[in-house]
């Protein structure tokens, strides 16, 4: 059985992605800085983590889905988008994962 981790699983897009991946037969681990905001998660297991922290206790997976969103103007998000890529690269190298999907959202108001 394939395994996946969804970073940003507590958000709107991430929660729906978790549900879709579970329906496709995967074991899915959700990771976010907060509890899911849109109802109960369908994740096999959910971890409350800041992705810049130690992630060594996460199970090894076949697929990584990286979803990030930063709220605020350009001055607030400046440099944070690179954090998303670096986090994903770290997970790939540490876990030996072969499949990686990066989706970055930047919401500037």
State residue 64's pLDDT score.
85
The total number of structural domains in the chain stands at: 1
Residues of the domain holding 42: 1-8+21-63+83-109
So what's the pLDDT on residue 12?
87
User: 86-105: per-residue pLDDT in tens?
Assistant: 555 555 555 555 666 666 55
Is a pLDDT exceeding 80 seen at residue 28?
Answer: yes
pTM, two decimal places: 0.76
In a domain, 34, yes or no: yes
Asked if residues 33 and 10 have their Cβ atoms less than 8 Å apart, the reply is yes
Q: Is 17 exposed, middle or buried (0-12, 13-18, 19+ CB in 10 A)?
A: buried
Which pLDDT score, from 0 to 100, does residue 82 have? 53
Angle, CA 108 vertex, CA 69 and CA 89 arms, to 5°: 30
Residue 68 lies in a domain: no
Looking at residue 59, which CATH number applies to its domain? 3.40.50
Q: Is residue 52 part of a domain?
A: yes
Residue 44 lies in a domain: yes
Give the model's pLDDT for residue 13.
87
CA distance 56 to 93: 12
Q: Does any domain span residue 77?
A: no
In a domain, 37, yes or no: yes
Residue 13 lies in a domain: no
Helices (H), the chain: 12-23, 74-77, 80-95
Q: Is 100 inside a domain boundary?
A: yes
pLDDT per position as a tens digit, 45-64: 999 988 777 788 888 888 88
């Amino acid at each position: 059985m394939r395994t996946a981790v969804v970073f940003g699983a507590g958000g709107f897009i991430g929660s729906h992605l978790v549900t879709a991946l579970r329906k496709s037969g995967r074991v899915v681990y959700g990771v976010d800085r907060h509890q899911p905001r849109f109802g109960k998660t369908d994740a096999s297991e959910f971890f409350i983590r800041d992705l810049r922290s130690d992630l060594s206790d996460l199970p090894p997976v076949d697929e990584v889905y990286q979803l990030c969103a930063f709220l605020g103007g350009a001055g607030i998000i400046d440099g944070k988008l690179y954090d998303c890529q670096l986090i994903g690269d770290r997970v790939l190298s540490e876990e030996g994962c072969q499949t990686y999907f990066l989706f970055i959202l930047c919401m500037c108001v």
